Structure 1
Amino acid sequence: MLAIGRALMSRPSLLLLDEPSMGLAPLLVKTIFQVIREISESGTTILLVEQNANLALGIADRAYVLETGKIVHSGKASDIYNSEQIKAAYLGG
């Protein structure tokens, strides 16, 4: 939270976040993602790298699925989230 706050002090047009939920308790993860959503809704573009795909896809507009460093799927986050192929391969569905 402190790192995000410090980054926002310069009023960036783009905020890069790499695994913001890593190592956090579930309650804090929920709070972090609420803050990320609010930052996005306020007009700041966010590039989010996150292994918790379910949470990330819940707040993203677009999504890219990487496999061994290559983009293997891309599109609207809702389409990626609802894809049976993606669910079976990556989301445990």
Structure 2
Amino acid sequence: MRLDKFLKLSRLIKRRTVAKDVSDQGRVWINGRDAKASSTVKLGDELSIQFGQKKVTVKVEALTESTRKDDAAGMYTLVKEEPFQKDDV
């Protein structure tokens, strides 16, 4: 599944266009590597996303083509949430 689509379906980011922009700005990493919007997300991958001054790391638990709001949180598990420092990358 494409990264931007996963971020939108899991509701980590509200809109797919915003997910694309965030990814293309270099604020998303898959397993520690820079990721673009078209990068492929697989089960078990760890995604790190920079939201302003914090960095959220989640583990991909499910990939579904469509999801309801109640089920979206089941697509990932929160691994950690920490303040973002520029040298973290």
Q: TM class, shorter-chain normalised?
A: under 0.3
Q: Where is the strand percentage greater, Structure 1 or Structure 2?
A: 2
Q: Where is the helix percentage greater, Structure 1 or Structure 2?
A: 1
Pick the structure with greater CA Rg. 1
Structure of greater relative contact order (alpha carbons < 8 Å, 6+ residues apart): 2
TM-score (norm 2): 0.25
